[in-house]
């Protein structure tokens, strides 16, 4: 009897392990292509050069055109192989090649005025380094290891794909819809158990909440950037928060195209032109020299905020920015696929609000049972928590955003939070539901506007800060929390200011971290 029970337990455990293995195979099949693109982005951001610019271009193309993924993977594999072989051959046979000869024997560092340090014995960056043929062991190893890992992951991806096709043919199974991890889970029964709920979110979580996730990611990217591109993203975010879903669906491909152009264009700005051609950018002399100074610090900070190429002050935080931009374009491209699939016949519904017509009356024939008074599973308790207490949690986060600083922006959060908390549960009576929605929308718009102004004021904090260091200017600076948050620009400003700064402003108040957290809860609410 004991041996029979042990055998049954072993068979159940074995079946669980087999089912878990199939889930992992399916997860690998769905998400390995994204891992390949992520490794490419990390490799390209770790070494800014022309050869790696092609990788960024391929990534942008692959994310926006998933239908051509097979062709792009083939072209990418060929390029990676050729790039790796070219780097090794150059390292072995052409280390002593003088690339300056390509531009003529009279090209000298002291004849170029693209960088002020060239008159002090500094040398121009060689053309080979600009292309990507770096001689240092650290850079070479990063490039080669990254490219090899990508090719290995591509090989694993193809192996997983062929294995899954073979298994489905043996079992006479149909090809599951793209992105489904549990193709046989019924989305209508998501609230039967916690397991059904988890399977629903694995299958349709992004389908149901992809737009909100995209808008949250836009805020996170703007938080990471705090520059002109961050301002533009916030403008897009304000438009999407203002418009109904049907209008967003029309504008979304334009936003995706914008991101697909900006991603490689930004990398091209980081690569810049080869220094040996001694060609100035049209914006190189903006604010040069600095007012009341012979330095170029303020001009460099302005170009840094505008994300323009600069010989004197190349950007150093490329990895974090490029990875953040990659995740944004990946999520936006996925949401574009969701918009294309939305229809009333979809298993998870069409995602359009039941209040889209402006009629806020209660529905008598509601297909969903009353889970507020009758909880049939643990999922119902989770839904009760969200619907009964979610607004309080959101208002607490708005209150935290207000308590996180002493500026006028923080005061606005406090006023709005207490105004809505003062309404209590009367805020949710069906008597005047339009007013309730308008209040929440106003709070959301205020959060986005605050994020826009905080980022826009970075051009004042990093470039035009000197008039605000004393007197009435200091009061304005503290009320609006104006201070440079970019580490590279802030260090440059420290060398420019010889006097101690008596106008104290906390950097944490200037960043939009608390605003982003408040926006996350507002979007989900």
Is the Cα dihedral 254, 255, 256, 260 positive or negative?
positive
What per-residue confidence (pLDDT) applies to 235? 96
Q: Does residue 448 fall inside a structural domain?
A: no
In a domain, residue 186? The reply is no
Q: Which of 76-85, 258-267, 429-438 has the lowest mean pLDDT?
A: 429-438
CB contact at 8 A, 401 and 522 = no
pLDDT of amino acid 252: 95
Is the confidence at residue 452, as pLDDT, over 50? yes
Instruction: Say if residues 260 and 60 touch (Cβ distance below 8 Å).
Output: yes
What does the pLDDT look like over 467-479, one tens digit per residue?
Answer: 777 778 788 888 8
Mind listing the pLDDT tens digit for each residue in 13-56?
Answer: 888 888 888 889 999 888 898 998 999 999 888 888 899 999 99
Is a pLDDT exceeding 90 seen at residue 368? no
Q: What pLDDT does residue 429 have?
A: 58
Any domain includes 76 = yes
Q: How much is the pLDDT for 110?
A: 56
Number of domains in the chain: 1
Segment 74-94 mean pLDDT: 82
The pLDDT, as a whole number, for residue 228 is 94
Choice between 282 and 328, residue whose per-residue pLDDT is larger: 328
Whether residue 69 contacts residue 62, with contact meaning beta carbons closer than 8 Å, is answered with: yes
- Mention every residue, 6+ apart, whose C-beta is less than 8 A from residue 442: 416
Does residue 81 form part of some domain? yes
Write down the number of H helices and E strands in the chain. 18, 0
Q: Are 417 and 402 in contact (CB under 8 A)?
A: yes
Closest CA to 309 of 47, 48, 51, 486: 48
Instruction: Using alpha carbons, select from 295, 332, 375 the residue that is nearest to residue 215.
Output: 332
Rg of the chain, C-alpha, whole Å? 28
Cα(343)–Cα(334) distance, integer angstroms: 16
* 308: in domain: no
pLDDT at 109: 54
Report pLDDT digits (tens) over 370-418. Answer: 677 777 778 888 888 887 788 888 888 998 888 877 789 989 999 998 8
Identify the band that residue 105 occupies on the pLDDT scale cut at 50, 70 and 90: very low
Note the pLDDT of residue 205: 87
Identify whether 275 is preceded by a cis peptide bond (ω within 30 of 0).
Answer: no
**What number is the average pLDDT over the span 157-163?**
89
User: What angle is formed at CA 521 by the lines to CA 518 and CA 525, rounded to 5 degrees?
Assistant: 135
Q: Is 471 left (phi over 0), alpha (psi -120 to 50) or beta?
A: left
**pLDDT above 70: residue 2:** no
Q: Where are the beta strands (DSSP E) in 10-86?
A: none
- pLDDT given for residue 104 in this prediction: 47
Smallest Cα–Cα separation from 519: which of 206, 201, 222, 305? 222
What is the extent of the structural domain holding 80? Answer: 17-94+133-176
Q: Which residues contact 94 (CB under 8 A, 6 or more apart)?
A: 128, 133
| Predicted pLDDT at 495 | 76
Identity of the highest mean pLDDT range in 282-296, 335-349, 507-521: 507-521
pLDDT band at 286 (very low <50, low <70, confident <90, very high): confident
Query: From CA 427, how far away is CA 431, in angstroms rounded?
Result: 10
Burial of 227 (0-12, 13-18, 19+ CB in 10 A): buried
Neighbours of 482 (CB within 10 A): 24
46 vs 357, higher pLDDT: 46
109 secondary structure, DSSP code: G
DSSP 3-state percent helix, strand, coil across the chain (nearest 5): 70, 0, 30
- Listed ranges 84-98, 125-139, 332-346, 375-389; the one with the highest mean pLDDT: 332-346
Residue 318 near residue 291, CB atoms below 8 Å = no
Q: Please determine, for residue 294, whether its predicted confidence score (pLDDT) is greater than 80.
A: no
% of the chain residues with pLDDT over 70: 85
Q: What percent of the chain is predicted at pLDDT more than 90?
A: 22
Write out 28-40 in H/E/C secondary structure. HHHHHHHHHHHHH
Query: Who wins on pLDDT, 257 or 123?
Result: 257
Q: 498-504: which pairs have CB atoms within 8 A and are 24 or more residues apart? A: 501/469, 502/469, 502/470, 502/474, 503/468, 503/469, 503/470, 503/473, 503/474, 503/477, 503/478, 504/478
Mean pLDDT computed over 358-362:
58
Say yes or no to pLDDT of 484 above 80: yes
| The predicted structure's pLDDT at residue 325 | 95
What pLDDT is attached to residue 499? 59
pLDDT of residue 168: 87
Is residue 461 a part of any domain in this protein?
Answer: no
Confidence band of 233 (pLDDT split at 50, 70, 90):
very high
pLDDT at 358 over 80: no
Name the helix (H) or strand (E) containing 416.
helix 408-423
Tokens of 53: 């610019």
Tokens for 211? 């737009």
101 part of a folded domain: no
Give 458-511 as a 3 state SS string. Answer: HHHHHCCCHHHCCCHHHHHHHHCCCCCCCHHHHHHHHHHCCCCCCCCCCHHHHC
For the beta carbon of residue 177, count every other beta carbon within 10 angstroms: 10
Q: What tokens were used for 92?
A: 């072995």
Tell me whether residue 191 is in a domain: no
Region of residue 389 (left: phi > 0; alpha: psi -120 to 50; beta: else): alpha
What span, in angstroms and rounded, lies between the C-alpha atoms of 398 and 395?
5
Q: Do the Cβ atoms of 109 and 122 come closer than 8 Å?
A: yes
Query: The pTM is what?
Result: 0.89
Q: Which of 3-7, 256-260, 382-386, 411-415 has the lowest mean pLDDT?
A: 3-7
Q: Provide the pLDDT for residue 355.
A: 62
């Amino acid at each position: 009897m004991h041996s029979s029970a042990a055998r049954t337990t072993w068979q159940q455990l074995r079946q669980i392990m087999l089912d878990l293995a199939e889930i992992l195979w399916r997860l690998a099949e769905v998400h390995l292509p994204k891992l390949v693109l992520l490794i490419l982005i990390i490799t390209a951001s770790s070494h800014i050069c022309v050869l790696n610019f092609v990788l960024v271009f391929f990534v942008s193309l692959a994310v926006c055109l998933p239908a051509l993924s097979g062709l792009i993977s083939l072209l990418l594999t060929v390029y990676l192989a050729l790039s790796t072989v070219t780097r090794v051959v150059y390292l072995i046979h052409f280390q002593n090649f003088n690339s300056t000869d390509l531009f003529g024997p009279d090209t000298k560092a002291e004849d170029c005025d693209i960088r002020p340090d060239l008159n002090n014995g500094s040398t121009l960056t060689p053309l080979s380094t600009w292309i990507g043929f770096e001689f240092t062991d650290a850079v070479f190893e990063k490039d080669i290891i990254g490219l090899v890992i990508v090719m290995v992951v591509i090989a694993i991806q193809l192996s997983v794909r062929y294995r899954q096709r073979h298994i489905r043919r043996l079992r006479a199974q149909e090809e599951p819809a793209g992105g489904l991890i549990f193709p046989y889970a019924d989305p209508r029964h998501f609230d039967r158990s916690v397991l059904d709920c988890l399977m629903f979110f694995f299958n349709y979580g992004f389908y149901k909440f992809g737009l909100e996730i995209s808008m949250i990611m836009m805020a996170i990217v703007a938080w990471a950037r705090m520059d002109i591109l961050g301002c533009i993203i916030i403008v897009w975010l304000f438009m999407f928060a203002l418009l109904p879903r049907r209008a967003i669906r029309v504008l979304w491909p334009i936003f995706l195209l914008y991101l697909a152009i900006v991603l490689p264009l930004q990398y091209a700005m980081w690569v810049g032109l080869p220094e040996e051609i001694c060609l100035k950018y049209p914006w190189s002399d903006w604010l040069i020299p600095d007012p009341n100074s012979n330095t170029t610090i303020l001009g460099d900070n302005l170009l840094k905020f505008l994300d323009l190429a600069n010989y004197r002050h190349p950007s150093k935080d490329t990895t974090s920015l490029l990875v953040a931009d990659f995740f944004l374009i990946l999520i936006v491209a996925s949401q574009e696929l969701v918009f294309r699939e939305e229809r009333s016949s979809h298993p998870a519904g069409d995602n359009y609000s039941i209040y889209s017509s402006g009629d806020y009356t209660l529905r008598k024939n509601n297909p969903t049972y009353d889970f507020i008074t009758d909880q049939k599973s643990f999922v119902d308790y989770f839904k009760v928590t969200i619907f009964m207490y979610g607004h309080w949690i959101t208002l607490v986060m708005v209150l935290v955003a207000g308590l996180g600083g002493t500026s006028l922006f923080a005061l606005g959060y406090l006023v709005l939070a207490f105004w809505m908390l003062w309404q209590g549960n009367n805020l949710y009576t069906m008597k005047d539901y339009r007013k309730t929605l308008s209040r929440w929308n106003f709070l959301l718009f205020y959060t986005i506007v605050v994020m826009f102004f905080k980022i826009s004021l970075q051009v004042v904090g990093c470039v035009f800060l000197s008039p605000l260091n004393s007197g009435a200017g200091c009061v304005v600076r503290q009320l609006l929390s104006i201070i440079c948050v970019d580490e590279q620009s802030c260090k440059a400003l420290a060398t420019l200011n010889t006097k101690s700064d008596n106008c104290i402003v906390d950097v944490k108040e200037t960043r939009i971290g608390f605003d982003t957290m408040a926006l996350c809860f507002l979007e989900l609410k």
